[in-house]
């Protein structure tokens, strides 16, 4: 029986292959494969290092989790701030739902996190998409809250419906998204 030799302790010098980015990338891959956040021990085993080496880069599992989720969320569509706010918001919502669909455990992870780092990425991009509307802050916050709750509910419905003969697809959000657009457009023309 052979035992896989692990590199113990902190990484040494510039010859080390271990970096914060390589740890995050490994954890992302394991999360996608397993549908849940991997343990530090699982990540370190995959990388062939002692678990303490991971703690050299991330002092807690929570910090690694935040780095992984921010890394994932940064993959969603980044609005350009064009005048086509409806198109920009549609692409943002579709890419967010696609991300949540690819990583089944991500929604639960996001909703249970204490950190707001991952949410800030979506919030910033949502604000860029709606910037041409020049909405007042309370209305923008209400629009954000409504959209995020809708997207999370839709993502949960897609997960629950995945094994059905006709699974729920991202295209099914077009109608509700159109209603959201009409409501914002009516608000721009003048609140009633």
pLDDT score at 87? 96
Confidence of residue 120 (pLDDT cuts 50, 70, 90): very high
Helix, strand, coil shares of the chain, percent, nearest 5, are 70, 0, 30
Q: In whole numbers, what is the pLDDT of the chain averaged over residues?
A: 86
Domain boundaries, the chain: 20-68, 74-189
Q: Please state, in angstroms and as integers, the Cα–Cα distance from residue 115 to each residue in 92, 106, 120, following that order.
A: 22, 14, 10
What's the CATH code, domain 20-68? 1.10.10.60
| Candidate CATH numbers 1.10.357, 1.10.3470, 2.30.29, 1.10.150; the one for domain 74-189 | 1.10.357
Contact partners, residue 76, CB within 8 Å, separation at least 6: 92, 95, 96, 99, 121, 122, 125
pLDDT score at 190? 64
pLDDT in tens, 29-71: 998 888 777 889 999 999 999 999 999 999 888 888 888 888 9
The rounded distance, in Å, linking the Cα atoms of 154 and 107 is 11
pLDDT score at 48? 92
Backbone angles phi, psi at 58, to 5 degrees: -135, 115
Report the largest interatomic distance among the alpha carbons of the chain, rounded to a whole angstrom: 77
pLDDT score at 2? 56
Q: Is the pLDDT of residue 102 over 70?
A: yes
């Amino acid at each position: 029986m052979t035992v896989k030799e692990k590199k113990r302790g902190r990484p040494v010098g510039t010859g080390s292959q271990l970096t914060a980015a390589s740890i995050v990338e490994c954890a992302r891959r394991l999360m996608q494969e397993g549908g849940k956040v991997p343990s530090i021990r699982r990540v370190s085993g995959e990388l062939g290092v002692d678990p303490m080496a991971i703690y050299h880069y991330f002092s807690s599992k929570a910090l690694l989790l935040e780095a992984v989720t921010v890394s994932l969320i940064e993959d969603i569509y980044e609005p350009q701030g064009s005048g086509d706010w409806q198109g920009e918001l549609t692409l943002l919502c579709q890419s967010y739902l696609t991300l949540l669909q690819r990583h089944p455990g991500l929604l639960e992870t996001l909703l249970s996190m204490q950190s707001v780092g991952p949410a800030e990425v979506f919030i910033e991009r949502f604000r860029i998409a709606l910037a041409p509307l020049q909405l007042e802050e309370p209305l923008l916050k209400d629009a954000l809250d409504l959209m995020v709750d809708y997207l999370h509910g839709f993502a949960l419905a897609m997960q629950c419906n995945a094994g059905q003969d006709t699974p729920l697809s991202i295209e099914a959000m077009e109608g509700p998204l159109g209603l959201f657009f009409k409501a914002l457009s009516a608000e721009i023309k003048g609140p009633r």
